[in-house]
Structure 1
């Protein structure tokens, strides 16, 4: 279970991170910066973290989501395709909804709260994360 959850979380986290990175490079919308940002967290925010550490923090969240996703189907929820989609959506939705609070809390430059294209890219990225979570589970379990 742990190996599957970590693998699924890794796959999904990499897909989301790379998507946001490409979007930021192509459009200039700082969605990758927002995804990796921890500057508003007490103690963490005072440290200028290297890129690999920011990725590690991002992956910790993704690993937790992957582990919960696998745990649900091993111990709590009937293992059906419909439930896979529901669980992927329910586990991803809170992260997708963090755009506004993360933008407000951020100390470094991130997209404005009202930036429609950045919001759309953020939401698309998290839908992509949910799809990857479900498809990775189907493929590797």
Structure 2
């Protein structure tokens, strides 16, 4: 529980989550690749898919997910006593994995990229690598002090 409410986790998840969102918004505006739309998409989540939320609320959902993912990564890093390099590497690998799992949710929405769009998938993975790198860097200084 301490990891979940630790200020380092909250700050890392908020900063990295906002940068990921900004990156995807810029990519979507410049290229038309709907990766920001996909980031905020809740069409595949039961109950939530019955509602239309304002963008700010959808972005807030994204930040909550970012917080949970960051806390889990931090807890695992503490448990296995990852050094800084392992923390960053595993953060990136986790985000690539999550990106690969989430991209197929495009089949549940007409607003997101089609599943066979290699450009959208490429931007999606680049964004998640950036996010994973940022989370790893932002957590690396204090990970072992969060016990």
TM-score, scaled to structure 2: 0.85
Matches within 5 A, 1:1-141: 1=3, 2-74=6-78, 76-106=79-109, 108-138=110-140
User: What is the aligned-residue RMSD (CA, Å)?
Assistant: 1.7
Kept in 2, the 8 Å contact 1:19–1:125? The answer is yes
Kept in 2, the 8 Å contact 1:8–1:66? The answer is yes
Between Structure 1 and Structure 2, how many residues are aligned?
Answer: 139
Gap runs ≥5 in structure 1: none
Q: CA offset at residue 139 of structure 1?
A: 5.3
TM-score, scaled to structure 1: 0.88
Gap runs ≥5 in structure 2: none
Kept in 1, the 8 Å contact 2:73–2:91? The answer is yes
